[in-house]
Amino acid sequence: MSKQHGPLADRPVNPKVGLEISHESAPLHVTGAALYTDDLLGRYPGALHAWPLQSSVAHARITRLDVEPAYAVPGVVHVLTADDVPGVNDAGIKGDEPLFPGEIMYYGHAICWVLGETLEAARLGANAIEVDVEPLPSIMTLAEAIDAQSFQGHQRTVARGDVVSGLKDATYRFDGEFEFGGQEHFYLETNAALAHVDEAGQVFVQSSTQHPSETQEIVAHVLGLRSNEVTVQCLRMGGGFGGKEMQPHGLAAVAALGTTLTGRPVLLRLNRTQDITMTGKRHPFHATWEVGFDADHRICALRATLTSDGGWSLDLSEPVLARALCHIDNAYFVPHIEVHGRIAQTHKTSQTAFRGFGGPQGMIVLEDILGRCAPLLDVAPEELRRRNFYAPGQSTPYGQPVRHAERLADIWSILTERSELDRRRGEIEQHNQEHPHTKRALAMTPVKFGISFNLTAFNQAGALVHVYRDGSVLINHGGTEMGQGLHTKMIQVAATALGVPLDIVRLAPTRTDKVPNTSATAASSGADLNGGAIKDACEQIRTRLAVVAAGRMGIHPDDVRFADGLVTGIGFHDRQIPFAELVHDAYFQRVQLWAAGFYRTEGLHWSSERMQGEPFKYFAYGASVSEVEVDGFTGAYRLRRADIVQDVGDTLSPLVDLGQVEGGFVQGAGWLTLEELCWDCGDTPTRGRLSTQAASTYKIPSFSEMPEVFNVHLYELATESGVVYGSKAVGEPPLMQAFSVREALRAAVGAFGPTGHSVDLGSPATPEAVYWAIERARQATSSSRPANSRGALVAATPGS
């Protein structure tokens, strides 16, 4: 292999990856100069504003839609309905999401859109529209969906071994059920799209989207156009978390339809209430399970059924469920396993991608099982977890070898020492003896998270790199920036691959006419995929430049080295050519100074029907310890300390990765302890209405919920071969580190009750849920169940 194209993980001398630099847009963020989609409105004089007419019923057939009254409102220009669609009236990829519905499928469903000279005119116009409906029965809960057998999409099963014999031979058997809630994305910037038609007839859409290529495809098929007639650009997003992977497509299509019909630019920006009531959330799940342990407390068998709440349409529910099934094992080897998965159809928003993409929902099931069973087995929860870790040579239930499994035990050991676990246990025990009404506890949980899209075809990326005659560099790639620091890492990758200073590399916004057919910036794969493509493009250019340099220095091109903006050769340290000078010479020798790069993740194969294969490039490992203090009178709690060790391989950008670990952990803690989505499920006129539709009623973590002591350590000497510069994904894995917060709350609740009491804790574990769990613990008696008996662990309801 040419030295100009070395192994993907190898780093040259003095690389720019690994440096502690701030986010590339940090100065713009803190000064307010960073532009988002809505900020671009001033560049488009005469733009119209779009406002939806939302339904006030969960399920109904539209029998009459009279839009004429809207035109009597001053400033109303047009009302968009299904009759205006020249192409396909569908906003999704499954053919089940009509952009303008004839059947209302959830409370808040957009029936039509009003375009007005001002936002207020559009709003008043929407209020004037007359709609008659025929109410239809609605399904609002997972229990109702299961009873009605209301399912959608494919039902899948992950299985290995003989679960019947495994359970039969188990020394200890338990069964139970578990239901846990979803999560609102609550990104700072709500969904937005700004569309216009240029002088050549091209439809140009500025969109807050994680998946510009798919937004382009949906806009094109709604308008009846080819993809080359539509360009989508994403300047940046004010947060995404998966909520802008599928949801922006229909909104961009509405704006694009409006601009093609009126000839004027159209801005569609949802306000916070609209965004929460119209767009999808993290999938809630219900699980029933039966587990067996052997005499050494090792899991010998698990049988479970996972039911996700997909909402009214499929969206991404099938791949979310697939990832949940592939992650139910988390860090634990289960020799005999059979897990069934199905998707419920309810009359709610269409649930969608959210950081972790089903992985957290699968992993929490087994974490909950271990947390509930540990007291009944009379073993410390962290010891039960450690005893069941994957060992080298073992494989997942779907057949993928668990490479680097030894990192689990190593990270566990490092974290035990760094978190001062043993000393703090003694302090906690003393505190609990002295304080009958407040209890402290800590818990330790691991993470093993697979990195890559489950659908193998999505694991590809492209990039475009230009080197100009003055030596400056412009890069463009298919990934989108939502605050996670992807662009920062890509600048560092390009500077490292070309051997130039960071300040001569500039990055252009993501747009579909520069890099086509891109995958979503999701699955924690943004840096892996796009970094590989950028490195490939840069290496093409560097190889060409090496030939020019070799000619000047009289050496072989393989002996040319690029570093810090200087070009030299092995053994020629006294002869250096400035990079810009070499580029100038190359131009006059008619050497191509730009390149299109491409990367595809090698070694992946997956059968979605059999749920077998190797869908992941590698696993990201980690572990966390959290300590909480709980008030026995109110159920209120505080997170006293959190310690995390996260495996990010050889970090591309330490400050960016640190921010991702901290942010992911806090967002995970929000999902597990604070953020409760409440729909009206009663037999009332407002059945189906989301009650928690603003920051006043939906609580996301704030400064007061941050750990009082927060320590994050990036696992060292962790080069990942076959990945750009030896790094690992960091976007999603840290979210699951928050499992330790919920398990610490379980342990603190248990301290209010007798030894051996198994604590059933709701999720989210809000102060109310914690209070009722404390009440149950106080009323419990010491476990008298024989060690080898079968026990039922049925979820309790709050207040019971």
Calculate the alpha carbon distances from 362 to 184, 192, 332, 374, 783 in Å: 18, 31, 13, 19, 29
DSSP label at 550? H
Report whether 19 contacts 657 (CB < 8 A): no
**Per annotation, catalytic residue among 732, 743, 768, 775:** 732
- Rounded distance, CA 380 to CA 173, Å? 18
Q: What is the dihedral of CA 476, 482, 486, 490, to 10 degrees?
A: 20
Q: How many CB atoms lie within 10 A of CB 100?
A: 23
Report whether 234 contacts 49 (CB < 8 A): no
- Rounded distance, CA 594 to CA 467, Å? 6
Q: What is the DSSP string of 293-343?
A: E-TTS-EEEEEEEEEEE-TTS-TTHHHHHHHHHHHTTTTB--SEEEEEEEE
Residue 455: which of 608, 316, 602 has the closest Cα? 608
Report whether 131 contacts 111 (CB < 8 A): yes
Report whether 310 contacts 275 (CB < 8 A): no
- Rounded distance, CA 318 to CA 309, Å? 11
In this structure, what token pair is assigned to residue 485? 């620091």
Calculate the alpha carbon distances from 701 to 187, 260, 669, 696, 762 in Å: 13, 42, 8, 13, 18
Reported as half-sphere exposure (CB side, CA atoms, 13 A), residue 626 has a value of 29
For the chain, give the number of residues: 800
- Residue 338 annotated in active site: no
Report whether 711 contacts 418 (CB < 8 A): yes
Q: Where are the alpha helices (DSSP H) in 554-682?
A: 579-588, 654-673
Q: Is 705 helix (H, G, I), strand (E, B) or coil?
A: helix
Q: Is 788 exposed, middle or buried (0-12, 13-18, 19+ CB in 10 A)?
A: exposed
Report whether 552 contacts 585 (CB < 8 A): yes
Which amino acids are annotated catalytic? Answer: 732
